[in-house]
Structures are given as structure tokens and as C-alpha cells.
Amino acid sequence: MIIYQQTIGDRVEFSGVGVHSGKPVSLHLVPAGIDCGVTFHIKDASGGTKAIAALSSNAPATDLATIIGDPSGAHVSTVEHLMAALYAMNIDNVIVEIDGREVPIMDGCSAAFVAAIERVGIERQAAKRRYIRVVKPVRVETAAGWAEFLPHYGTRFEIEIDFAAKAIGRQTFSAELTPTLFKSEVSRARTFGFMKDVERLWASGHALGSSLENSVVIGDDGRVINPDGLHYADEFVRHKALDAIGDQALAGARILGCYRSYRGGHKLNALALQALLRDGAAYDMIELPSRRRDIVRHSPLIAAVAAPAYGPQTL
């Protein structure tokens, strides 16, 4: 596990369209200092720049994409694929400069962001990384599914989905999160949708930038219509895992625990994270020593006060 905080080695640029807005957008990742966390710099209505920390406290629980900021004002949507790449590649501190209201969809997954991080490299910083360690189970349930955090020495995801479409069905994916695992087994899993939902989504102003270049599409017969097929045989559950990783990144620190979900999505991921961070008895804040047995429990309140930009945040 990583002991020290990290940032990227150089500035990197992306351009594309928003999957929901269909509008062109440019984005820059900029190296940031210790305890900056992930902070989005966006243009507000007056032409100024507004900084929004990528934290659960700034993220309303939404269904179709993860949003930080005020949905009726300054905000950025569809942050989950970028956040997943930063979280999985162990980037703690970075400024995200963006000239639109939605992160570019790129090829519908996290692969482009991972490649850029590897290209510019990663720099270790002279401060310890703080972890949120789950110490007791926390579970939330909805009519459709459930999600829970369990104590675990590591960062583990166990994701299960169940769709009627024959191309999907019931799929599971379980893994310990590492940069290597994420790059090879998760990062290329694309967002997906159903042709039967297209007109409804368009009418509500969503999926205007979606295409076969950035999304897996299931036709009315329940089969994948993309000419190039799937990147993974179980690409659908792997994309749900990718989304869960990106949504968990809004904790404000790396989580040591196991996240499990059944028929989850962005909203359920957000509700589970909020439930964890509301319960001060469910977690503690630690810095990793050189030896596992030397870990000392810290007060969540003291840790949050000592590092407001980096401690857990709640609604």
C-alpha cells in the first residue's frame, strides 16, 4: 500500500464531448500540492473560476451520473470515470481545470485517463497519506438492491448485477484494487445502455453525446449491437465496478475495506458512502506505518480537523 501522498508528474490535456450534454469540452489535469485532494476548477456564470472539491459532501445522490457541485449552478457531472482512474492509480492531489459542465466521455471508460497518468508519471510527496479504515459493517438497502462496507485490510470490491437482457444476465466481479488490476481488468469497461431507452433519455436531455464509439448498446432483441463486440466477456459488471470505484473516490481518502453491492448504481454507491461517513463509529483515520502491526487508531474527529481538505466529508 502507498504510504505517502502522490500527484501527477506533469500537466495533461483531454478534449471530447459530454456523454449527456453532447457538448465539446476540454479538461486539464494539473499537479497539486500536499492535502489539496482532487479539486475541480470550473468557470462560473460571471466568468470567474470556482473551486469544487471532489468530496461526498459536494455530491448529491443521482442516478445517471455522478455530479459534484450545485446541479442548478456551478457543477461538473459524469466525474466517475476520471475519479476512478485517479483513485485506482493512487493519485491523491490534482487540480482538474475544465471549461464545461461535464467531464469528456472519451471512449466511455477510464482507459484514456490511465494512459495519460502513466505517460506523465507519478510523483511522491513529502506527507503521509491518510486512510479511512472500516471497522464495522455499514449497509444500505433500496427496493432494487443493496450495498455495504465491511472491514478488510485492503481495498476490495465485490460487485453483482442482474439484468433481464440476455447479453447481461447475472454477473459478478470481485477483486482487490491495484493499479495493475484496474488497468488490465477494469479500465476498458465502457458505459452501457439500451436502445429502448434512447428516445426517453434524449427527451430529458441525456445521452446526447452517446454513440457506439463510447458506449455499449443493447438492442431490442437483448443483444449487443456494437460491431466490435465487448472488451471483456463480462464488461457490464466490470463497468459497474469502475463506477463504484469512482464514486468511492469521493470519500476524500483511500478506503481500507470491502465494498459489496447487488444491483447497484451511482445513487446506491453515494448512499452507502454517506452512511459510512455519517457513522463515526464505523471507521477510523490512519496513516500507514512501515509495518502493518504498528497501525495506531486515531480519532476520526481529530483527523478531520487536522486535514479538512483530505478527511472524510458528509452531507
Q: Is 247 annotated as a binding residue?
A: no
DSSP 189: P
Q: In the chain, how many H helices and how many E strands?
A: 7, 18
266 flagged as catalytic: yes
Q: How many angstroms separate the CA atoms of 249 and 256, rounded?
A: 12
Q: Is 28 annotated as a binding residue?
A: no
CA geometry: angle 248, 250, 256, nearest 5 deg = 50
Q: How many angstroms separate the CA atoms of 68 and 76, rounded?
A: 6
> Using an 8 Å Cβ cutoff, are 10 and 121 in contact?
yes
DSSP 225: -
What is the three-class DSSP state of 204?
A: coil
With cell 499537479, the residue in question is 31
Q: Is 35 annotated as a binding residue?
A: no
User: Which of 28, 75, 266, 298 is the catalytic position?
Assistant: 266
Strand 155-162 and strand 254-262: the pairing is parallel
Single-letter amino acid code for the residue at 59: A
Q: Which residues pair with 109 in a beta bridge?
A: none
Binding site for Zn(2+): residue ranges? 81, 239, 243
Active centre residues (catalytic) = 266
